[in-house]
Structure 1
């Protein structure tokens, strides 16, 4: 199980098939394979040995995918850089796993000087843009032209494939160590759950530094499909590509989907070729699903749940659980059942399994589970216990084994001794006709300990009052779960993968409180 196998198979069987579409550039599998082999040779010439880390700081592009497969072909380990990070965070990730090679595109050239000046070992920087090569950097295309293609290093199985630093929603970054077997297994599980073929066209708009984007790339190469690459999410551009490139498959987070549905070009685009869409990163999507079904009734929807430590797939709720009956019964709110080769349990604080329907912590085991956190044995020991990954997510399981997410355990609100799960409140808020996006956090309260606080982004041109929001919530949930305060904003703070940064919301609330 080595991750370059899908590329080798496609070169052998469909060498003339287009593999990447990026702007005006189109490359076949044969062309792509040649470039990957040359990049591998260039990396080795620059001193990269088996197991060494290679980083890239860039938006999505065909060259990013070449970096992924070129590093693996050369026997190296990916260390993709979060494009939302400040220089200090980038340097931390490079120093932490001793990364000496860094590919940078035009968007992030202003950060290069600071990275070089503060990193423990100033990395060799390779320019992957289309302009003039900056002073002190090597030119990507020149390196490929001068390099001799090399044979695939053939690393696989338990060999390390990627160190993916988590951060944004859970605190200081930790380097998640993922093996070839981990990523291969997770993608195989995905392919077993959702039908995919080499004739499809995949849209890659999820950031490739994130596990959802990376895993989607691996799936695409496993089946040998064509990949349409979007640098960063822009609703109008994504709609154009969906139509003009006849995209059939896409993975998006709810904020992206809502952006497409609200864009003025949506009704003008022919999206009949779009057959399958996977969504994730948010448990509160009921209202969004109804909008998608109404506007794209032909679309097969599936919901995936996972995390970086699971590379990322834990479970998938397939298209048939998005039927009218499933939406009426509430099964659509599930994130599905544990996938192929994956076991899931719900446990209490002592690690004992709880009865069905009881909320506890979700724990997972399977061949997709990470090796651990780079250079963090104590953190690894907390997360991996007796072969199980403790996810930190709260949820429950129904009698048929369907998993329902209620909250990050650390995000659970305890108000007057009662547990309030933000996802439940967010689902209700999202059903209000004025609400485009929302998030719920717990804030200090002198009487109840914590109070429910809602942060709401209204749809363009629509307004709502705080009292109207609270009245709406009281129709559907108990009063102690309803927001005691409502804050209206123009936007929510998001990670690069589209998750709401609730930590930032809490910090902002405390800062505003201090000013009063």
Structure 2
């Protein structure tokens, strides 16, 4: 079983059903399959073979989807790169992949213009006069039928690069089995049905984007790609295209439900909304539930490397909970900085904080980073994946994530986890977003500093401090010693907060 075979199964089931819609363009499953055949035959004629890596520097669009399936047909590897990456990061990925082809669009032309490749790949541009040839030529010249390569379960179909906040990007190889089992788990855990419709907002360079495309194909649904995220357009599409399920980051949901047009929109067709990529505040959960009234409201906690760690099937009943281990997974907690030389020091006590580990026997789990055995050895030990996340299990057996080990604040010898403080601050009615970091302090080592986004000009640090200590919400040592009001929280394209930007002072302070 491989991904292209699964695509053909869906084509055979409903050849005349729509599969992808972008603006005034629409493809049925049969039409998409024919276009995939043409592009695959051209790539084959140009020398693409099984195991070759193809770097994709494209936004979410119909052509990106066609290329995904054409590359899978040839048994090659689809390697999408975030267009917001720096030129240095892109050059690193080109050489790391030893990519044979780079397929790009005008938006990424300048990123490639002055690159010095170890071995120059073939450059294929989406628009005219870009690269060695353009995408339209692939379609027009693709007339010779090519047989699909019989990729096996363990063959790599996709390589995604993690968007780490420091150091070199890490390539995560994902096998056909990884992607198939992750997609089936997602369908089951998120209550998807036949003929779903979703918005393809998260880029295909992110695991959320890949998952949305694959799950819609498996259930013979409709995928509507967004080259650029726009909250107003997303709201319009939800109503106009009768969107039934959403899989987005908390930031994207925030921008949608706080847009003025959201209160005048019909969300009745939505039955399942899923979020991943970060915590969602209780206030945002309430707002999404109020506007969309979904039957299912799922928090999916996972990573590019393993996909599912755990799921909470209804966050409305337990805000902040990451739920229980996914259908293919097993999770455990270990004491922080556990020394493998003596053995794992498992935590069995409810409520005790430790690092979250995921068992590597999961069919969703990768087997190691691309060309990075050194990093692989640091995160995979004795059959367990060390997530770097910190959390605890409550009395009902549900997981709560409280932060990252490298984000932990140590103030006067006390371990403080930012998410716990952010959760309290976000409950204040005037706080739109809150991010907590540790700031170096000569006396205490670090102090808790809170960055606040608000539209209330009357909000003061004193009012927030009183709110934090009211009803014993936070003990003295956890309360922020410093508040900074800013215009926006810096984030990358996947919605991940760029803590380094805040720590280095790269933000616009709000002056009321």
* TM-score > 0.5 by shorter chain: yes
Counterpart-to-counterpart distance in 2, 1:156 and 1:496: 33
- CA 1:431–1:363 in structure 2 vs 1: closer, same or farther (change >3 Å)? same
Of 489, 492, 505, which aligns to 1:492? 489
The structural deviation recorded for 1:39 is 1.7
For 1:449, the equivalent position in structure 2 comes to 445
Residue 280 of structure 1 and its aligned partner are, at CA, apart by 1.7
Q: Structure 2 residue aligned with 1:291, among 283, 287, 290?
A: 287
Within the alignment, does 1:281 sit opposite 2:277 as a pair?
yes
- Cα pair distance change 1:463/1:211, threshold 3 Å: farther
What residue in structure 2 maps to residue 380 of structure 1? 376
* Rounded Cα–Cα distance in structure 2 between residues aligned with 1:235 and 1:338: 32
Normalised by the length of structure 2, the TM-score is: 0.93
Secondary structure in 1 matching 2:51: coil
CA contact (8 A) 2:245 2:272 kept: yes
Q: 1:49 matched to which residue of 2?
A: 49
Q: Is the 8 A contact 2:196 2:216 kept in 1?
A: no
> How many aligned positions are there?
497
Q: Which residue is equivalent to 1:468?
A: 463
Q: Does 1:239 align with 2:235?
A: yes
1:126 to 124, 127, 130: 124
1:1-29 Cα offsets, whole Å, 9 max, x none, are 31123311111110001000111110010
Measure how far apart 1:33 and its partner are.
1.0
CA shift digits 1:132-164 (9 cap, x unpaired): x12543121221221123222131311011221
- The answer to whether residue 307 in structure 2 is matched with residue 333 in structure 1 is no
The alpha-carbon deviation at position 463 of structure 1 amounts to 5.1
Q: What aligned pairs does 1:108-507 form with structure 2 within 5 A after superposition?
A: 108-114=108-114, 117-129=115-127, 133-147=128-142, 148-310=144-306, 312-319=307-314, 321-322=315-316, 326=317, 331-348=318-335, 349-350=338-339, 351-355=344-348, 356-365=350-359, 366-459=362-455, 462=457, 464-475=459-470, 476-507=473-504
Residue by residue over 1:403-427, the C-alpha shift from the partner in whole angstroms, topping out at 9 and shown as x without a partner, is 1101011101111111111111111
Contact 1:37 1:152 (C-alpha < 8 Å) held by counterparts: no
- The DSSP-based 3-state class of the residue aligned with 2:491 is coil
* In 1, Cα distance between equivalents of 2:118 and 2:395: 53
Cα distance in 1, alignment partners of residues 139 and 176 from structure 2: 25
Provide the rounded CA distance (Å) in 1 between the counterparts of 2:484 and 2:226. 33
Q: CA deviation at 1:234?
A: 0.8
- Which has a greater percent of helix? 1
Taking a change above 3 Å as real, the CA distance of residues 136 and 308 of structure 1, as seen in their structure-2 partners, is: closer
TM-score w.r.t. length of structure 1: 0.92
Show CA shifts across 1:220-268 (max 9, x none): 1222211111112111111111111111111111111111122111112
3-state SS of 1:395 partner:
strand
CA gap of 1:104–1:462, structure 2 versus 1, over 3 A, is farther
Across the aligned residues of Structure 1 and Structure 2, the Cα RMSD in angstroms comes to 1.9
Comparing 260-269 and 396-405, the one that deviates more: 396-405
Partners of 1:429 and 1:83 in 2: CA distance: 33
- Is contact 1:200–1:249 with CA below 8 Å preserved after alignment? yes
Structure 1 contact 357–397 (Cα < 8 Å) conserved = yes
Contact 1:3 1:156 in 2 (8 A): no
Label 1:71 to 1:182 Cα distance change in 2 as closer, same or farther (>3 A): same
User: In the TM superposition, what is the alpha-carbon distance from 1:357 to its structure 2 partner?
Assistant: 2.0
The CA deviation at 1:121 is 2.0
In structure 1, what is the Cα distance between the partners aligned to 2:430 and 2:119?
A: 51
Provide the residue aligned with 1:82 in structure 2: 82
Gaps of 5+ in 2: none
Structure 2 Cα separation of the partners of residues 392 and 298 of structure 1: 32
Displacement, 1:401?
3.1
Q: Distance in 2 between matches of 1:363 and 1:79?
A: 27
- Structure 1: state its 5+ residue gaps: none
